[in-house]
Structure formats: structure tokens, C-alpha cells
Amino acid sequence: MDTTPRWLDADELAAWKRLVAVVELVPAALDAQLRRDSGLTHFEYLVLAMLSEAPDRTLRMTSLGQRTNATLTRLSHVVRRLEERGLVERFACPEDGRATNARLGDAGHAALVAAAPGHVSTVRATVIDALTHEQVEQLSAISAAILQRLDPHHRLQVLADTEPGTPAAAVGLPETAAPAVRAGGGAALAG
């Protein structure tokens, strides 16, 4: 870092301070609602959602870690706890003895389906419905620009498949789950 960086001017400072408040409050709001209504953290929700998207509801730990932006260490602890609660199961990967697969069980899928509507409502209530359609598109572009700096090589798969026009959910219940959800009065982020 430079020893004498350019300071922030008034507009930049205002934007920055507000962004700091947003990045502090948004995760807290998501966590609070999910914990209260479903007994899941936002991160656990993401893990379940990513598994629900995958073929056979199964992913390798490494791949799951990329999709949820988690270190393998963090993921290992969380998945162990989810396994203890009966929501996911782990088993050795047949093709690579080093790898572990995590699969979303029926109970886990049910928990996700039960949690999704409240989560989507919260997302709308706190973010999306607070903005005009134009602002939603601006936010998308701004976030993309920031992520370009934070993760230039797109290690996070969250980024890779986030172009507008994307098929289904990714943060909710896509493809596999969403139809079931819609049929059963369940839930997803997109659809």
C-alpha cells in the first residue's frame, strides 16, 4: 500500500460509509431471519442450496467450497455439523480416494424448501424492493466491477454463472428443487 494515498472526497466518502453499513447489516439481517425462522445460518442455507442445484444433489467438498466462497476448513466444520443434524451425508468419492462428496439428504432438502420462502421475502423486503429496476441493474454492474477487483480470476463460481439471463436459482432452489417447490407450495429465490 502507498504511504500517502489519495483521500476520499465527500461523494466517495458518503458512498463508502453507506456501503460499509450495508455490508455490515445485510448479512446480519439474512442470518437473523434464517436463524429465527429456520434454524439455519445464511452460510448453511447457501450450502444446502448449492447442493440442491447439483446433479444427484452431490458435490465434492472443494467444489462446494468454491460455490459458497468458503475455505475447506470452514466448510469441513459446517458440513460435519449439518451431517450430525441429519441434513447432509458425506461419503468417499469413488473416482478419487482423496476426495469427499457431500450429498443433500431428504431432510436437508425439506429444510431448504421450508426455509426458502421466508428467505426470498427477506431479500425482497430489504434489498430488491427497495430499489427501482434501473437501480437493480446499476447494482449488478457496480457489484461486478467490485468483484473484478476482489476476485480477478473468478475463483468464486458464484461469479461465473451470474450473467443476467442465467437459468434458475443458484441462491435458492434451481432446476431440481424449484419445480417440486412450486408444486408443493415450497420456495426458491428465482424461478
Give the interface with DNA as residue ranges (CB under 7 A).
Answer: 28, 35, 41, 43, 60-62, 65, 71-81, 90, 93, 96-101
Distance from first CA to last CA of the chain, Å, rounded?
Answer: 44
CA proximity to 60, closest of 72, 49, 69: 72
**Comparison of 35 and 103: residue with beta carbon closer to DNA:** 35
Q: Per the structure block, which three cell numbers stand in for 187? A: 420456495
State the nearest-atom distance from the C-beta of 78 to a copy of itself, in Å.
14
Q: Which does 15 bind (CB under 5 to 8 A by kind): DNA, a copy of itself, none?
A: a copy of itself
Asked whether position 4 contacts a copy of itself by CB under 8 A, the answer is: yes
- Taking CB under 8 A as the criterion, which residues in 44-83 touch a copy of itself? 69
- Taking CB under 8 A as the criterion, which residues in 135-154 touch a copy of itself? 135-151
Asked whether position 158 contacts a copy of itself by CB under 8 A, the answer is: yes
CA proximity to 133, closest of 173, 169, 164, 178: 164
Which range, of 51-59, 90-98, 105-113, 167-175, touches a copy of itself by CB under 8 A? 167-175
Helices (H), 85-132: 106-126
- Taking CB under 8 A as the criterion, which residues in 102-131 touch a copy of itself? 117-118, 120-131
Q: Cα torsion for 44, 49, 55, 59, to the nearest 10°?
A: -20
Neighbouring CB atoms inside 10 A of 143's CB total 12
State the nearest-atom distance from the C-beta of 118 to DNA, in Å.
17
- What Å distances lie between residue 124 and 127, 128, 131, CA to CA? 5, 5, 10
State the nearest-atom distance from the C-beta of 78 to DNA, in Å.
5
